[in-house]
């Protein structure tokens, strides 16, 4: 359910795990993003505001996302003690010990999913949780959503960050599709040219904010493109 929600909303993982039941409005069909939940190495929880003022937003929920939230709320077990962080309690996503989840939980869960997938498939995946957010951005852009509306949903302060995210993922998908069809004798040269093109893209789109820096970091996806990520959904289980 968490992966379905991330793929269907584009929210950051820390925003997802900062949600409480009151943030999900089924009547209006939106989820409100107002905070991020994080944890220190000493296992101390704390609340952060979204990365920018633009991070405060309401994201419309598709029917699939609403079903996923219903599943989460229905299956959530009340812990012996509800953790209070920064005046907020009742976090939707809990681990097996009844404590709020943080980004590390998703990273470990994604690693298990990808490892299980790679054991039985020749098209090896290298997928990080942040790719889910980038995939949402790419799919909305390819569906024709105007940049300003997509910028709002992503919570980007700068529309250039939104376009940089889309450009990176689209270029990566096109490169990998071409690579699969290219004769092996040309792949070495193609790989070198790809590296040069990546350097060119980075110089053209230098990051302008902390969010831009995060978006410019390398993220990987399946060779068949963004659409391959939902294909491994049947491997998703036990995300605690």
Angle at 238 between CA 236 and CA 240, to 5 degrees: 125
Q: Report the distance separating Cα 226 and Cα 140, nearest Å.
A: 12
Cβ(8)–Cβ(68) below 8 Å: yes
Q: Report the distance separating Cα 214 and Cα 168, nearest Å.
A: 12
Q: Report the distance separating Cα 213 and Cα 202, nearest Å.
A: 11
Q: Report the distance separating Cα 7 and Cα 228, nearest Å.
A: 12
Q: Where are the beta strands (DSSP E) in the chain?
A: 24-25, 30-33, 36-39, 45-48, 57-60
In 10 A of CB 54, how many CB atoms? Answer: 16
- Residues annotated as part of the active site: 12, 51, 130, 133, 156, 166
Cβ(225)–Cβ(110) below 8 Å: no
DSSP 3-state of 85: strand
């Amino acid at each position: 359910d968490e992966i379905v929600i991330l793929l269907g909303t584009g929210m950051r993982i820390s925003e997802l795990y900062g949600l409480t039941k009151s943030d999900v409005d089924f009547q209006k069909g939106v989820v409100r993003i107002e905070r991020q939940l994080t944890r220190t190495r000493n296992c101390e929880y704390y609340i952060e505001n979204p990365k920018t003022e633009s991070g405060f937003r309401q994201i419309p929920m598709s029917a699939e996302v609403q079903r996923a939230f219903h599943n989460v709320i229905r299956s959530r077990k009340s812990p012996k003690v509800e953790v209070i962080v920064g005046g907020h309690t009742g976090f939707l996503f809990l681990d097996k010990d009844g404590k709020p989840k943080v980004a590390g939980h998703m990273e470990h869960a994604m690693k298990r999913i990808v490892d299980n997938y790679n054991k039985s498939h020749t098209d090896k995946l290298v997928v990080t949780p942040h790719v889910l957010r980038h995939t949402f951005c790419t799919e909305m852009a390819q569906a024709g959503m105007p940049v300003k509306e997509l910028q709002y949903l992503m919570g980007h302060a700068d529309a250039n960050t939104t376009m940089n995210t889309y450009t990176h993922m689209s270029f990566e998908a096109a490169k990998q599709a071409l690579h699969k069809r290219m004769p092996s004798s040309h792949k070495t040269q193609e790989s070198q040219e790809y590296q040069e093109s990546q350097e060119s893209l980075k110089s053209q789109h230098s990051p302008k904010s902390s969010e831009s820096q995060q978006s410019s970091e390398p993220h990987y996806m399946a060779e068949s493109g963004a659409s391959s990520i939902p294909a491994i959904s049947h491997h998703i289980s036990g995300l605690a």
